Amino acid sequence: DGGITQSPKYLFRKEGQNVTLSCEQNLNHDAMYWYRQDPGQGLRLIYYSQIVNDFQKGDIAEGYSVSREKKESFPLTVTSAQKNPTAFYLCASSIASVYNEQFFGPGTRLTVL
């Protein structure tokens, strides 16, 4: 089955701890994205990557970091510098660029206690 996987589905962390969210795709897509979804806020872009070893900041990159060492993987680290990290995080991928259909993973719901 082709698709995007995110793990875990639910994640709990203590305040002040860094946490890394996993995103893997086997669609052979070049572009990958991370979004944050809060109630009533829609989807806000955190980071995106159009090619391995390259990525760009989105609208709300502060307090987050990413890496793109492999085409299939785009992990997101939520650092202790992120002031309000509790949210639903969605990973997506697309062919070549942001102007193609984006395929979303099932999401990770992060709760910081």
Residues at the contact surface with another protein, assessed by CB under 8 A? 33, 35, 40-45, 48, 56, 58-59, 90, 92, 98-99, 101-107
Instruction: Select 16 or 97, whichever has its Cβ closest to another protein.
Output: 97
Q: How far is the CB of 21 from another protein (least distance, A)?
A: 14
Contacts of residue 90, defined as CB under 8 A and 6 or more positions apart, other chains included, come to: 6, 34, 35, 36, 37, 43, 104, 105, 107
Instruction: Region of 40 please: left (phi>0), alpha (psi -120 to 50) or beta.
Output: left
**What is the C-alpha R_g of the chain?**
13
Instruction: Select 2 or 42, whichever has its Cβ closest to another protein.
Output: 42
Instruction: Select 52 or 80, whichever has its Cβ closest to another protein.
Output: 52
Q: How far is the CB of 4 from another protein (least distance, A)?
A: 9
Contact 24, 73 (CB under 8 A): yes
Instruction: Select 81 or 98, whichever has its Cβ closest to another protein.
Output: 98
Q: How far is the CB of 15 from another protein (least distance, A)?
A: 26
In whole angstroms, what is the distance from residue 91 CA to residue 76 CA? Answer: 9
Q: How far is the CB of 24 from another protein (least distance, A)?
A: 15
